[in-house]
């Protein structure tokens, strides 16, 4: 299968270049991180500059990395699955001797490469020129961040794919996708750092998958997590990734039995 990826990635890259304008528009939609930054800077200012251990520079760093995370882990396989089933585009893909998910994965990787071309310069410029931004650029931290980024993407991709599989049974998948996204927006730390949540909620979030799709990576790059806590985090992240992967595979097999392809 891996031998097919260079060709899939090349075609996906060509496809993404066709959609470059649309991708930039999607990136702008992730600017909610900067809106939330302004909100939290105001809150910090009203609280003598610090909220739950976060000073202004910490908020800027947090939401900058959170914005980068959002762009480097964005997934849309569920939308494709939903439209593919409704419009009949899934059928031709099922006829090929390759699981259609490989096409979703290659397109996602190609799109991430394109987004990275814009994200990296923005992070570099902000880090260099905005005072108070503190990122731990040590090699071990950057490697750990990179690993957690892949882990976050893995959870998001397979949970999103699983959501999309509901399209085999219902035409209301968009509602499920948006509800899941709304919950994730809050509980992954995209609206507020998890440190701002009550202790009991933080304990629950430690075990749930949301933290490991955003906050965990931000915590690593800002040096707020290390040692045993870091490895425990990776273990939980890997467990959730594996969980969504395995469940997706099982549901896919059941879904195919249920595929009606009426008019498709």
Partner 1 sequence: MSQIHVERLSKHYQVHEKEAGLGGSLRSFFARKYRTVKAVDEVSFDIQAGEMVGFLGPNGAGKTTTLKVLSGLLYPSGGNASVMGHVPHKRETAYLKQFTLVMGQKQQLMWDLPAIETFLVNQAIYEIPKGDYDATLKELDQLLDLGPLLKKQVRKLSLGERMKCELAAAMLHRPKVLFLDEPTIGLDVTMQVRIRDFIAAYNQRHGATIILTSHYMADVTALCERIIVIDKGKLFYDGNFRELIEKIAPYKILKLQLSTHAISEHFTEYGKVESCDGVTVVLHVPRERATDTAAHLLTQFKVNDVTFEDPPVEDIIRQVFEGNRK
For 137, other C-beta atoms within 10 Å of its C-beta total 9
* Binding test (CB under 8 A) with partner 1, winner from 2, 137, 139, 257: 257
For 2, other C-beta atoms within 10 Å of its C-beta total 6
* Binding test (CB under 8 A) with partner 1, winner from 31, 94, 183, 250: 94
3-state secondary structure of 242: helix
Output 6 or 49, the one with its CB closest to partner 1.
6
Should residue 2 be labelled a site residue for partner 1 when binding is judged by CB under 8 A?
no
Should residue 260 be labelled a site residue for partner 1 when binding is judged by CB under 8 A?
yes
Output 2 or 128, the one with its CB closest to partner 1.
2
Are 43 and 125 a contacting pair, CB within 8 Å?
no
Near partner 1 by CB under 8 A, which window of 15-23, 110-118, 121-129, 153-161? 15-23
Total site size for partner 1, rule CB under 8 A: 28
Are 30 and 71 a contacting pair, CB within 8 Å?
yes
Question: Least distance to partner 1 from the beta carbon of 96, Å?
Answer: 5
55 - beta bridge partners? Answer: 50
CA distance 202 to 200: 5
Question: Least distance to partner 1 from the beta carbon of 11, Å?
Answer: 5
Should residue 20 be labelled a site residue for partner 1 when binding is judged by CB under 8 A?
no
CA distance 158 to 213: 12
Should residue 92 be labelled a site residue for partner 1 when binding is judged by CB under 8 A?
yes
Sort residue 226 into left (φ over 0), alpha (ψ -120 to 50) or beta: beta
Output 22 or 229, the one with its CB closest to partner 1.
22
* Binding test (CB under 8 A) with partner 1, winner from 41, 55, 56, 89: 89
* Binding test (CB under 8 A) with partner 1, winner from 98, 178, 201, 242: 98
Annotate 25-63 with b (16+ C-beta within 10 A) or e (fewer): eebeebeebeebbeebbeebeeeeeebeebebebbbbbb
Should residue 169 be labelled a site residue for partner 1 when binding is judged by CB under 8 A?
no
| Alpha-carbon distance values, 142 to 148, 156, 181 (Å) | 10, 21, 27
* Binding test (CB under 8 A) with partner 1, winner from 96, 143, 146, 183: 96
* Binding test (CB under 8 A) with partner 1, winner from 2, 28, 46, 95: 95
Query: 194 to 223, contacts with partner 1 by CB under 8 A?
Result: none
**What residue ranges bind partner 1 (CB under 8 A)?**
3-4, 6-8, 10-11, 14-15, 18-19, 88-89, 91-98, 256-257, 259-262, 264
């Amino acid at each position: 299968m891996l031998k097919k990826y260079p060709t899939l990635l090349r075609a996906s890259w060509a496809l993404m270049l066709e959609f470059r304008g649309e991708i930039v528009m999607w990136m702008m939609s992730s600017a909610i991180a900067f809106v939330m930054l302004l909100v939290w800077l105001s809150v910090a200012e009203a609280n003598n500059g610090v909220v739950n251990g976060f000073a202004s520079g910490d908020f800027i760093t947090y939401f900058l990395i959170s914005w980068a995370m959002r762009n480097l882990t964005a997934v849309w396989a569920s939308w494709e699955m939903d439209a593919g089933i409704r419009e009949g585009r899934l059928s031709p893909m099922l006829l090929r001797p390759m699981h259609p998910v490989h096409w979703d994965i290659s397109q996602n990787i190609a799109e991430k490469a394109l987004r990275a071309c814009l994200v990296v310069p923005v992070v570099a410029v902000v880090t260099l020129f905005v005072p108070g931004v503190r990122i731990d650029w040590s090699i071990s931290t950057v490697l750990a961040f990179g690993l957690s980024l892949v882990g976050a993407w893995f959870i998001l991709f397979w949970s999103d794919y699983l959501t999309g599989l509901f399209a085999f049974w219902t035409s209301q998948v968009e509602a499920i996708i948006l509800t899941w996204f709304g919950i994730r927006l809050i509980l992954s730390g995209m609206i507020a750092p998890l440190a701002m949540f009550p202790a009991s909620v933080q304990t629950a979030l430690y075990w749930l998958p949301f933290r490991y799709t955003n906050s965990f990576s931000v915590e690593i790059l800002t040096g707020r997590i290390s040692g045993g806590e870091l490895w425990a985090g990776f273990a939980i992240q890997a467990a959730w990734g594996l969980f969504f992967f395995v469940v997706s595979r099982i549901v896919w097999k059941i879904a195919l039995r249920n595929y009606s392809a009426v008019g498709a």
